[in-house]
Structure 1
Amino acid sequence: MENSKSLLIAFIVIVCILSKIEGQGLKLGFYDSVCPQAEKIILNFAKKHISLVPEMAAPLLRMHFHDCFVRVSIYITAGLYYCFVRGCDGSVLLNSTNSTAEKNATPNLTIRGFDLIDKAKTAVEKQCPGVVSCADIIALMARDSILVAHGRPFWNVPTGRRDGRISNASEALSNIPAPTSNFSQLNTSFANKGLSVKDLVILSGAHTIGIAHCSSFNTRLYNFSGNGDSDVDPSMDKFYVANLKKNKCKNSTDNSTIVEMDPGSFKTFDLSYYRLVKKRRGLFQSDAALLTDANAKAYIDQELANTKATFFSQFAKSMEKMGRVGVLTGSAGEIRKQCAFVN
């Protein structure tokens, strides 16, 4: 009986994911008839602001990722099982009210760019009040900021997402992959969103840009196994460890110093991240974890053997796929007037 119940729940989860992962209701040019200038307004906004601070492209891309990585919930009412999906619905933008919102969960405390999303929303609202969702603005700004800052990759952003009304810090904490994740945890997290091992490897390639705080990987440098500060993660290149401890994260309590995730190439969207991972110089345990799985390692080798153009093409496919996770469309959710508040 218990096995049958477990199988039923597993079946509901699979059906629930498959029904949502397609992103039914999304389409290219969704706003063409109701707000023809919407995407142009957002692109022009990105050109104006991201050109002044190109380093904001990485945080905006990360914001989109964190917005999409929420959860599938199962609940029971009157003996019936239901599933409820939340994903790319702009919930990461909501301010905390009676309960703590995703924005204030530990994985999101270092996200930057909320003010840019708010300003982009204001620009669109002037042209078309109450039409364009904050969830779509996040997705478009993630793509457009990369274009402005790096030129490529480009990916299609089908639109038509609607905004969610629920935002729970606990869901962000339990669903967004931690920098300390092992491969099994990463694989499960991505699979629960309908994303493959290849998507995991390709999307990890976004670590070729941006920065990280020492606090997100300090345990790899200090007291890794609990035997004292001289104990480091053996999977990390010892020369890289020595350099980080000497020049960046100088003690185990450093929570503020920032480190380039792809030293020497962090301003360029390229394949350099994979080269660093192969040299055991990825900052996070989750980066190193990619080498512990045969399939993931094979994909890294494959990307390094490919051209940058091929990587861009693969990245575009995975980004579009991720952008469809758990979307609200049709009459679900709402179109928020302000991104930080439900209507």
Structure 2
Amino acid sequence: MGGLMVGLCVMVTLLVMSSIGGEAALTTNFYDDSCPQIYSIVKGEVQKAVAKEARMAASLVRLHFHDCFVNGCDGSLLLDNTTDSDGSLLFETEKDSLANINSVRGFEVIDAIKAALEDACPQTVSCADILAVASRDAAVAVGLVPKYPVFFGRRDSLTANITAADQFLPAPFFTYAELKQNFANVGLNELDLVALSGAHTIGRVKCAIIRKFSLPDTDINSGFRDFLNTTICPPGSENPTGPINNLTFVLTDLDLGTPDTFDTNYYKNLRKDEGMIPSDQTLQSTLGINQAFVADFAFNKRKFFLQFAISTIRMGNISPLEGDDGEIRLNCRKPNPTDSRIATQ
């Protein structure tokens, strides 16, 4: 089994390098000398977080995705609202964008990883690279094999872009054509789209989204729609409770069968017209090569796992900051003080 996993990792590396071109500067050995502890530290913190709450695996995978689709993989999603010395707002956090507010989570896990890495390897590992390896380890913690190689060398942005987050993050009501264009905008193809959507084999979704977008969706079968309406997300479940700054939403599983296991049930559900949200079901209901990908992944776990790894690495190569661009943040939630920025370049 060990030899098989090593062989698959080598295959993933070769396939990824051929697909992203020889000009790619990210490498798998970037921290071999400067911070070899990165692997054990990230794995330990991720496993601890997932053991405490299985849903955290999906949250960490989603953080990497939502970071990379906005101005590239630069850790901008992790930044909080940031003010100038006079108290004026420099930039607004991407956490408050339409696709992220009251939705993206797992920041405390990233904070814990960053703190441990700063103790072990000060001013060395970027927050953007932490997102990449934490995403991999989170998926592996709930069933993904093999442990695919992570490419490193990203640096952190100095600012966030909520406007771009509102514009470029895919929405649950997107049609296949909209999703295809959304992925093409960042250099990803239809195979990447279908493979990366498979991350919805784990995680949760708000009943508010189910009731607003899924129940009117004619692509899911009528029996499943009735089941969602009466049993999974009945009337009233769309209403959040609690104070406005700490709302609590009714959630349901994206995969009702094995919600916390990284497997192929997501694609099997799509083939039964039981996708939880329209942007999932459209992968099956829209005529095209996407239907072949869905069928292939539904019945071939090894092929899905391999393509998920390849597509995740391709996504992680979207417009990274490298060299002298950006910085290595000391705290993932805020840019470095100006006087410390030189030290991290």
Instruction: Give the TM-score band, short-chain normalised.
Output: 0.7 to 0.9
Q: Does 1:266 align with 2:251?
A: no
Match of 1:335 in 2: 328
Q: Tell me the CA shift for residue 102 of structure 1.
A: 0.8
Distance 1:257 1:23, change over 3 A: farther
CA deviation profile, 1:124-157 (whole Å, cap 9, x unmatched): 0001111100000111111112222325353211
3-state SS of the aligned residue for 1:216? Answer: helix
Q: Give 1:325 deviation, angstroms.
A: 0.7
Asked if residue 100 in structure 1 is aligned to residue 92 in structure 2, the reply is yes
322-331 vs 248-257, which deviates more?
248-257
* 2:294 equivalent to 1:310: no
C-alpha separation in 2, matches of 1:270 and 1:36: 30
Equivalent residue, structure 1, for 2:193: 200
Q: Measured at CA, do residues 41 and 221 of structure 1 come closer, stay the same or move farther in structure 2, by a change above 3 Å?
A: closer
In the TM superposition, 1:95-244 aligns within 5 A as 95-97=80-82, 98=89, 99-109=91-101, 110-150=103-143, 152-220=145-213, 232-244=216-228
Q: 1:22 to 1:276 in 2, by over 3 A?
A: farther
Q: 1:247 corresponds to which letter in structure 2?
A: T
Cα deviation 1:81-120 (Å, max 9, x = unaligned)? xxxxx21100000001223221111211211100100110
Partner of 2:15: none
CA distance 1:185–1:209, shift in 2 (3 Å): same
Which stretch shifts more, 49-58 or 174-183?
49-58
Structure 2 counterpart of 1:245 = 229
SS in 2 for 1:325: coil
**Equivalent in the alignment of 1:277:** 270
CA contact under 8 A between 2:143 and 2:263: conserved in structure 1? no
In the TM superposition, residue 34 of structure 1 has moved relative to its aligned partner by: 1.4
**Aligned counterparts of 2:320 and 2:94: Cα–Cα separation in 1:** 17
**Secondary structure of residue in 1 paired with 2:317:** coil
**1:299 & 1:190 partners in 2: Cα distance?**
16
Q: Which runs of 5+ in 1 are unaligned?
A: 1-19, 71-85, 223-231
Q: Structure 1 CA distance, aligned partners of 2:267 and 2:166? A: 27
Residue equivalent to 2:294: 300
Contact 1:93/1:339 (<8 A) preserved:
yes
Shift of 1:271: 1.0
Residue type at the aligned position of 2:95: K
> TM-score, normalized by length of structure 1?
0.83
Kept in 1: contact 2:207–2:252 (CA 8 A): yes
> What one-letter code is carried by the residue in structure 1 that aligns with 2:61?
L
| Equivalent position SS for 2:205 | strand
Residue 322 of structure 1 is matched in structure 2 by: 315
Q: Give the letter aligned to residue 129 of structure 1.
A: P
Contact kept in structure 2, 1:213 and 1:257, CA below 8 Å: yes
- In structure 1, the residue matched to 2:342 is none
Give SS of 1:217's match. helix
Question: Which whole-Å CA distance do the structure 2 matches of 1:135 and 1:23 have between them?
Answer: 20
C-alpha distance in 2 between matches for 1:194 and 1:21: 12
RMSD: 1.8
SS at match of 2:235: coil
Aligned length: 299
Contact 1:107 1:176 in 2 (8 A): yes
What secondary structure does 1:150 align onto? coil
Q: Which moved more, 1:136-145 or 1:22-31?
A: 22-31
1:48 aligned to 2:33?
Answer: no
Counterparts of 2:262 and 2:210 in 1: how far apart (Å)?
A: 22
2:263 aligned counterpart, secondary structure: coil
> Which residue number in structure 1 is paired with residue 24 of structure 2?
24
**Which letter does structure 2 place at the counterpart of 1:283?**
M
Change (3 A) 1:33 1:45: same
SS at match of 2:332: coil
Larger mean Cα displacement after TM superposition, 320-329 or 233-242: 233-242
Change (3 A) 1:308 1:122: same
Gaps of 5+ in 2: 1-19, 83-88, 241-248, 337-345
Instruction: Indicate conservation of the 8 Å contact 1:179/1:284, yes or no.
Output: yes
